[in-house]
């Protein structure tokens, strides 16, 4: 199944879950996440906020809210929501993704040093999680740390070339053009020629 088919399937299943029980906060949160993946941030946030009004301590909803806010142009708010998610469920099965989104939110906020530290935490915990290296490379590039940036860039490309192409060469639907340009700027400063 390709990414678009998986996204359609996730949305269909989440809508079915909400139809079966409109008071299921987790189902609403998952529907919000599916809408976010299509680039429908306002509708996604509405579903996630409904979920949080039903279950204010639902960690997964805070995580989905954080990523949605980050990619909707509100990275500082998104990082705060992710930190709530991590406090509520420090053993979240999606911890690697939460840490990835936290590093990306810090990067998009312009806090490159904190983004690098967040990336280091993820790399220490999940060294084979390839998606973090592009954010690390971009942040290091923005700070002019050329040698480290080049190393992270090489890992970003070599460990997951398909993901690098999908998120860097092409802009994902949930990624605002200006945020994509900000990421690419950092990667170019890291030595990327694409």
pLDDT digits (tens, 9 = 90+) for 94-141: 999 999 999 999 999 999 999 999 999 999 999 989 999 999 999 999
Give the residue from 27, 61, 93 where a domain finishes: 93
Question: Domain for residue 100, yes or no?
Answer: no
pLDDT band at residue 172 under the 50/70/90 scheme:
confident
Question: Domain for residue 3, yes or no?
Answer: yes
Measure the CA–CA gap between 26 and 10, rounded to whole angstroms.
13
Measure the CA–CA gap between 25 and 45, rounded to whole angstroms.
13
Q: How many CB atoms lie within 10 A of CB 183?
A: 21
pLDDT band at residue 183 under the 50/70/90 scheme:
very high
Measure the CA–CA gap between 182 and 178, rounded to whole angstroms.
6
Residues 118 and 154 occupy one common structural domain: yes
Residues 74 and 124 occupy one common structural domain: no
Question: Domain for residue 76, yes or no?
Answer: yes
Q: For the chain, give the percent of residues with pLDDT over 90.
A: 86
Structure tokens at 50: 């409904």
Domains identified in the chain, total number: 2
Residues 56-81 have a mean pLDDT of 98
Q: Which domain holds residue 41?
A: 1-93
What pLDDT sits at residue 145? 98
Measure the CA–CA gap between 29 and 121, rounded to whole angstroms.
26
Residues 113 and 178 occupy one common structural domain: yes
Residues 88 and 119 occupy one common structural domain: no
Measure the CA–CA gap between 22 and 71, rounded to whole angstroms.
26
Does pLDDT of 142 surpass 90?
yes
Does pLDDT of 1 surpass 80?
no
Structure tokens at 54: 């039903």
Question: Domain for residue 126, yes or no?
Answer: yes
Residues 136 and 58 occupy one common structural domain: no
What pLDDT sits at residue 180? 95
Q: Which residues of 38-69 are buried (b: 16+ CB within 10 A; e: fewer)?
A: ebbbebbbebbebbbebbeebbbbbbbbbbbb
Measure the CA–CA gap between 112 and 186, rounded to whole angstroms.
10
Question: Domain for residue 194, yes or no?
Answer: yes
Q: For the chain, give the percent of residues with pLDDT over 70.
A: 100
Question: Domain for residue 98, yes or no?
Answer: no
Distance of CA 96 to the CA centre of its chain: 10
Question: Domain for residue 99, yes or no?
Answer: no
What pLDDT sits at residue 2? 79
180: domain CATH number is 1.25.40.10
* Cα-based distances in Å from 72 to 2, 15, 57, 174, 175: 24, 22, 22, 8, 8
Question: Domain for residue 114, yes or no?
Answer: yes
Q: How many CB atoms lie within 10 A of CB 26?
A: 16
pLDDT band at residue 7 under the 50/70/90 scheme:
confident
């Amino acid at each position: 199944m390709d990414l678009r088919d998986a996204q359609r399937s996730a949305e269909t299943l989440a809508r079915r879950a909400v139809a079966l029980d409109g008071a299921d906060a987790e189902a609403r949160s998952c529907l919000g996440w599916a809408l976010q993946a299509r680039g429908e941030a306002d509708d996604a946030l509405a579903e996630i906020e409904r979920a949080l009004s039903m279950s204010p301590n639902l960690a997964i909803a805070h995580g989905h809210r954080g990523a949605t806010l980050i990619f909707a142009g509100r990275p500082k708010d998104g990082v705060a929501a992710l930190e709530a998610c991590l406090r509520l469920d420090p053993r979240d099965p999606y911890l690697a993704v939460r840490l990835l989104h936290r590093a990306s939110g810090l990067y998009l906020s312009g806090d490159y040093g904190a983004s690098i530290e967040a990336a280091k935490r993820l790399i220490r915990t999940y060294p084979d999680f390839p998606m973090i290296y592009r954010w690390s490379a971009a942040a290091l590039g923005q700070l002019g740390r050329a040698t480290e940036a080049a190393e992270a860039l090489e890992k970003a490309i070599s460990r997951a070339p398909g993901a690098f192409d999908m998120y860097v060469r092409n802009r994902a639907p949930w990624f605002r053009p200006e945020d994509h340009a900000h990421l690419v700027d950092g990667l170019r400063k890291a030595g990327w020629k694409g």
